[in-house]
Amino acid sequence: MLTSRRRLLSGVLLGSTAALLPIGARAASVRVETLLSQMTLPEKAGQLSCFNDEIRPVGAVFNPVIDPRGGDAMLADIRAGRIGMLFNGYGVAGARRAQEAALTSRLRIPLAFAADVLHGCRTIFPIPLAEAAAFDPDLSRRAARAVAVETTAGGIHWTFAPMVDVARDQRWGRVAEGAGEDVLLNQLLAAARVEGFQGPDLTRADALLATPKHFVGYGAVRGGMEYAAVDMSGAELRETFLPPFTAAFAAGAGATMASFTDFGGVPVSANRPLLTDMLRGELRFDGVCVSDYDADRELIAHGVAADEADAARLAILAGIDMSMQSGLFVRHLPALVAEGRVPLGAVDQAVRRVLTLKERLGLFDDPFRSIDRRAERRETGSVAIKQVAREVATRSIVLLRNDGGLLPLPRAGKRIALIGPFGADRANLNGPWSFAGDAGDGIDIATGLRAILDDPALLVVEAGSAIGESLPGGIERALVAARGADIVLLAIGEGADMSGEGNSRTDIIVPAAQQALAEAVAAVGKPIVVLLRHGRALALTGAVRDAPALLATWFLGEQTGPAIADILFGKVEPTGRLPVSFPIASGQQPWSYDRRSTGRPAPDSDPMTPGRSHWRDAPDQALYPFGSGMGYTRFALSALRLPGTVAAGAAVPISVLVRNIGTRTGSALIRLDVHDRVASRTRPIRQMKAFARVTLAAGAEARVALTIVGDALALIASDGTRQIEPGRFDCWISAGDETEIGGSFEVR
């Protein structure tokens, strides 16, 4: 009944109430409007304020502690109606205490509980960047669903995820949280993750409200430095950074989070053109926009707000509905309204959105939804979620090099030395934002290998080095292990705290102590398989770059050991592809495979041609560009079919014959890239427009069809509008690094 009334009001037949509301607003339900009419200003400001949960805190969240008050004071504030939402708490028992307190407040408005569940709550999955390597929206949807079931069973309704910031600068630590450098992959995974988290019905006890973040452009921080300023053209914003948000909103995301960065001189938390004109007007988003942590108060440090009251005023007027952790809204909004510095309508509109969100979650009908001890016991660390976590972990691994078919390894008869700080380590399996996960629950590489080897005694494990510094006698012991082995597995790379928020790096290399270990071990002359651990693309050098076999294994979470073992010994075919380009050198950043041409591009055949675009010491190329990765078989492509001419806006059907020319069953990722030859604005030299997966037995063949959707050929023209310009488009279909077939078509 209420839903149908809202639908009517949000449709073409906008009633008079809706017509009076600000851009993008729709009238709320009778229940919400009635409640709003009963609320005092302080109660309204309370609903617009959220705080780190001190009633049921979890150990390791990234944020600095700001204004702690303790659990009892927090319960008192909840009873007084001064808090609308708590975040980053975990567990049903504490959730019940907090919700009971909320139900003794004057208007009995229930709390919502949110958390930074980026890649798992208790059961930790691969970091989102790793999962993106599967290039599989359906897998991401299933993973997000499994995570939602476990998370909601722990008394949480809302996640601050997915992170959908396109990331083209690998120095930026938060690359780990998203889907990498490509726009289409970001769009598809943003939508899939939102659908998975939220499920079919937001009122269900296992529905987890999604928050695509950080609106918008955070991934383009200058120099890749955390929290730095962002400045970009409108076309760049619309072509690269906005599409994943559009996709997430179209998938029904109920909230978004404003970025804390400066955007073109106006920090996003105070940026009305972005948070109101664009978010509400252009994108028609009608969910809740929550600030980032303390971001409204940070307007003072940015130098655009004079004091805390001024910061609160700027934030609410820009379009922030809910203030996170600073307490600025609850402290200052009542006076700001009384003094006429903030119109009551702005506060009411934000309250309307927050209450509507709670209503959409079913909290008014059942404030204790997702607070059920039996569900908590049943779903936490269940067999079902562990299976999905393992599937995602194996699908995340990318085989980048395999000279002479060194992999897969035989399960018997070989002496294996597992060398490096991550061989037997459990503390660094999860990576950043592993919320309520316990590092001790994870399965390390050595344990995973022993479980699969016919004779586990043939495995020798030696750290050789710590993550950031050498170990006394470490290299010597590693050399003994290497000399006694037939094969060396080198488990090296970044520690869990080297990527993620606040962990930008200027030099994205394997730490020097581990590089020294790799050089010494390589000199022994045994075949080396590098098992790289990382939260971003790295610039590999020396013995690590030159090892005959290389697996990108990211932070795979709790199922690290079994997943790596499955791939190493060929129980599972490696099917991951890089969602970020591995550069030749750190100084190439930012860099992406779909960069635009310069006026003096260097030819691929001679990328260091004098006078052409390159660095003095590196070409304008990647060591392993976006999409790199192979399996244990090979594919051949032939018989490309594509139309000669298509009408602008029409779908372009393309197909190709794929044949497995190896000796094992394998899965090919067939990818289609496009280049617009002549346009009014410069275009990417190539950009992925579609992909599909096909699994074929040895010798088998299939025709794979890919469709470029009509709008995918559009560009943002100089006047800011989206247009498809007629002309010739080149296209390439590939099945991995060397296998590529090309053609072109004309758009009328």
The catalytic residues are: 292
- The region of 59-67, 271-279, 376-384, 598-606 touching ligand BGC under the rule CB under 6 A is 59-67
Site string for ligand BGC, 73-112 (x = CB under 6 A): ---------------x------------------------
The single residue among 158, 160, 197, 263 that binds ligand BGC, judged by CB under 6 A, is 160
Segments in 252-293 forming alpha helices (H): 272
Q: How far is the CB of 294 from ligand BGC (least distance, A)?
A: 8
Q: How far is the CB of 748 from ligand BGC (least distance, A)?
A: 45
Q: How far is the CB of 13 from ligand BGC (least distance, A)?
A: 37
Q: How far is the CB of 295 from ligand BGC (least distance, A)?
A: 8
Strand partners of residue 489 = 418, 529
Task: Give the C-alpha separation, 10 to 741, whole Å.
Answer: 48
Which of residues 197 and 293 has its CB atom nearest to ligand BGC in the complex?
293
Which of residues 90 and 293 has its CB atom nearest to ligand BGC in the complex?
293
Which of residues 116 and 425 has its CB atom nearest to ligand BGC in the complex?
116
Question: Do the beta carbons of residue 268 and residue 274 sit within 8 Å?
Answer: yes
- Is 63 among the residues that bind ligand BGC (CB under 6 A)? yes
The single residue among 54, 150, 181, 292 that binds ligand BGC, judged by CB under 6 A, is 292
- Is 655 among the residues that bind ligand BGC (CB under 6 A)? no
Residues 191-220 that bind ligand BGC (CB under 6 A): 213
Site string for ligand BGC, 116-135 (x = CB under 6 A): x-------------------
Task: Give the C-alpha separation, 531 to 423, whole Å.
Answer: 9
Please choose, from the candidates 708, 696, 630, 706, the residue with its C-alpha nearest in 3D space to the C-alpha of residue 658.
Answer: 696
Which of residues 292 and 673 has its CB atom nearest to ligand BGC in the complex?
292
- Is 501 among the residues that bind ligand BGC (CB under 6 A)? yes
Angle at 21 between CA 39 and CA 45, to 5 degrees: 30
Strand partners of residue 672 = 690, 733
Segments in 11-127 forming alpha helices (H): 16-20, 30-38, 41-47, 71-79, 92-102
Please choose, from the candidates 429, 625, 457, the residue with its C-alpha nearest in 3D space to the C-alpha of residue 535.
Answer: 429
Question: Do the beta carbons of residue 745 and residue 728 sit within 8 Å?
Answer: yes
Which of residues 431 and 474 has its CB atom nearest to ligand BGC in the complex?
431
Question: Do the beta carbons of residue 562 and residue 393 sit within 8 Å?
Answer: yes
Task: Give the C-alpha separation, 747 to 187, whole Å.
Answer: 24
- The region of 57-65, 522-530, 550-558, 610-618 touching ligand BGC under the rule CB under 6 A is 57-65
Angle at 503 between CA 500 and CA 509, to 5 degrees: 100
R_g (Cα) of the chain, nearest Å: 26
Q: How far is the CB of 61 from ligand BGC (least distance, A)?
A: 6
DSSP symbol at 292: E
Task: Give the C-alpha separation, 538 to 288, whole Å.
Answer: 36
User: In sequence order, what DSSP letters do the residues of 341-377 get, joined into one string?
Assistant: SS-HHHHHHHHHHHHHHHHHTTTTT-TTTT--HHHHH
Residues 418-447 that bind ligand BGC (CB under 6 A): none
Which of residues 219 and 367 has its CB atom nearest to ligand BGC in the complex?
219
Q: Which amino acid, 75? A: L
Q: How far is the CB of 116 from ligand BGC (least distance, A)?
A: 5
Segments in 50-200 forming alpha helices (H): 71-79, 92-102, 128-132, 137-152, 183-198
Which of residues 53 and 673 has its CB atom nearest to ligand BGC in the complex?
53
Q: How far is the CB of 51 from ligand BGC (least distance, A)?
A: 11
Task: Give the C-alpha separation, 704 to 252, whole Å.
Answer: 31
Task: Give the C-alpha separation, 333 to 317, whole Å.
Answer: 11
Bond before 162 cis per omega within 30 degrees:
yes
- The region of 56-64, 127-135, 523-531, 545-553 touching ligand BGC under the rule CB under 6 A is 56-64
Question: Do the beta carbons of residue 252 and residue 246 sit within 8 Å?
Answer: no
Contacts of 476 (CB under 8 A, 6+ apart): none
- Is 53 among the residues that bind ligand BGC (CB under 6 A)? no
Dihedral sign, Cα of residue 148, residue 154, residue 157, residue 161: negative
Q: Residue 526 has which token pair?
A: 């045994």
- Is 165 among the residues that bind ligand BGC (CB under 6 A)? no
- Is 707 among the residues that bind ligand BGC (CB under 6 A)? no
Q: How far is the CB of 124 from ligand BGC (least distance, A)?
A: 17
Which of residues 52 and 628 has its CB atom nearest to ligand BGC in the complex?
52
Q: How many CA atoms lie within 13 A of 200 on its CB side?
A: 0
Which of residues 153 and 257 has its CB atom nearest to ligand BGC in the complex?
257
Number of residues in contact with ligand BGC under rule CB under 6 A: 10
Which of residues 116 and 296 has its CB atom nearest to ligand BGC in the complex?
116
- The region of 61-69, 231-239, 265-273, 455-463 touching ligand BGC under the rule CB under 6 A is 61-69
Which of residues 118 and 130 has its CB atom nearest to ligand BGC in the complex?
118
- Is 293 among the residues that bind ligand BGC (CB under 6 A)? yes
DSSP symbol at 279: I
Q: How many CA atoms lie within 13 A of 690 on its CB side?
A: 20
Q: How far is the CB of 115 from ligand BGC (least distance, A)?
A: 8
Q: 428-447 b/e with 16+ CB inside 10 Å = b?
A: bbbbbbbbbbbbebbbbbbb
Which residues here bind ligand BGC, judged by CB under 6 A?
Answer: 61-63, 88, 116, 160, 213, 292-293, 501
